[in-house]
Amino acid sequence: MSSEATTGAVASERPHRPHDGWRKWAEIAFFVTPALALMALFVAWPIITAARFSLYDWKGLGPLDDFVGFENYAEVLADDVFRDAVAHNMIIVVGSIIVQLPLGVAIALLLNRKMAGQGVLRTLIFVPYVLAEVIAGVIWFQLLQPEYGLVDALMNGIGLSPPEQGWLGTPEVALWVVLAVLTWKYLGLAVLLFLAGLQGVSEELYEAAQLDGASWWQTQWRISIPLLGPTIRTWCFLSMIGSIQCFDMIWVLTGGGPADATTTMATYLIDEGTNRHNYGIAGAASVVLFAIAFVMALVYQLVVLRRDTKEAAV
């Protein structure tokens, strides 16, 4: 901080010192308080409230007086629908990374080459990400309508038979369809981040490789991808957090159905809390969701991202 230099200049005037410290704190407080207050009101307080609700049997009316301890947690953890929801979340976490990572890297490498229509291609890939999630969801919902939707019509047109109950109505395929739509939606972000990462790779390295007679493939495999590491690790983190909280797209496409085949922890919360007024159960489920997300984020930070943050700090 430059403050050391400035305080050094006025250090001879002793009485000013504590005053300066006070001023600095006042300044910090002045700028930080509004943000902190918002954070406390809209983030910290709801978390505390949810944790409090989770210990009571409460239907949303009257006083919070039926204390049940950890009964709600036991109920949530024993509920098949919630367990399935956690499994669905994990499938989305893993599925998103497995599909989007190679696809995103490949597209980013391709788009990083100089070619005609580069700008248009980049925009096309990125458009789904910019689209509001609910709007994208409604569009896909219409496209995937059984019998009357475009996807079914196209498939019938070329002689393929779509699932009898429709893409979103067949419990065995619904989750995979949702995953495909999520991939379409979020691939743009991966490509954008990877492209940005590639811009950071020094041109000299490519030149050196070229002089050594490396092929395009070798250059990508030995230089671009390894140097993309930090970007990939950060992207994985973002993707993971997004997948754990996955709600909007599923709510619009399937509402968690058919036959609970696409529930996630977030849709479970809404169903129990907002729809059924089981606020204690919803509170317990939200605390479990928070804990899972928190632990995953922490482990990832400690194990995977440590290298990157260390490098950045040095």
Partner 1 sequence: MSRKTQALAALCAGLMIAATGCGGSGDSGGDDKTITWWHNSNNDPGKGYYEQVAKDFEKANPGIDVKVQAFAHEDMLTKLDAAFQSGDVPDVYMERGGGELADHVEAGLTRDLSEDSKDIIDQIGGSAAGWQVDGKTYALPFSMGVVGFWYNTELFEKAGITAPPTTMQELYAAFDKLDKAGITPVSLGAGDGWPAAHYWYYTALRACSQDVLESAVADLDFSDPCFVQAGETVDEIVAKEPFNKGFLSTPSQTGPTSASGLLATGKVAMELAGHWEPGVMQGITEDKQGLGEKTGWFPFPAVDGGAGDPTAQLGGGDAWAVSEAAPDKAVDLVNYLLSDEVQKGFAENDMGLPTIPAAGSSVKDPALADLLKVRDESPFVQLYFDTAFGESIGGAMNDEIALQFAGKATPEDVVTATQEAADKEK
Site for partner 1 in 54-83 (CB under 8 A): 59-62, 81
Q: With CB under 8 A as the contact rule, which of the stretches 15-23, 108-116, 251-259, 301-309 interacts with partner 1?
A: 251-259
In the complex, least distance from residue 267 CB atom to partner 1, rounded to whole angstroms: 12
Q: Which one among 112, 165, 234, 245 touches partner 1, defined by CB under 8 A?
A: 165
In the complex, least distance from residue 33 CB atom to partner 1, rounded to whole angstroms: 8
Which residue is it, tokens 């207050």?
Answer: 37
d(CA 141, CA 168): 8
In the complex, least distance from residue 48 CB atom to partner 1, rounded to whole angstroms: 17
Q: Does 173 bind partner 1 (CB under 8 A)?
A: no
Q: Does 20 bind partner 1 (CB under 8 A)?
A: no
Which residue blocks in the chain are alpha helix, DSSP H? 3-10, 16-39, 45-53, 71-78, 80-111, 118-130, 133-143, 150-157, 171-199, 203-211, 216-219, 225-227, 229-244, 248-253, 265-270, 279-303, 306-313
Amino acid at 249: M
Cβ distance to partner 1 smaller for residue 18 or 34: 34
Cβ distance to partner 1 smaller for residue 145 or 183: 145
Cβ distance to partner 1 smaller for residue 239 or 254: 254
Q: Does 41 bind partner 1 (CB under 8 A)?
A: yes
Number of residues binding to partner 1, judged by CB under 8 A: 36
Interior angle at CA 204, CA 191 and CA 118, nearest 5: 35
d(CA 245, CA 109): 29
d(CA 159, CA 157): 6
Q: Which two tokens stand for residue 256?
A: 């968690």
Q: Does 264 bind partner 1 (CB under 8 A)?
A: no
Cβ distance to partner 1 smaller for residue 191 or 271: 271
Cβ distance to partner 1 smaller for residue 16 or 276: 276
Site for partner 1 in 91-150 (CB under 8 A): 142, 145-149
Interior angle at CA 200, CA 197 and CA 204, nearest 5: 135
Nearest by Cα to 143 from 155, 133, 127, 158: 155
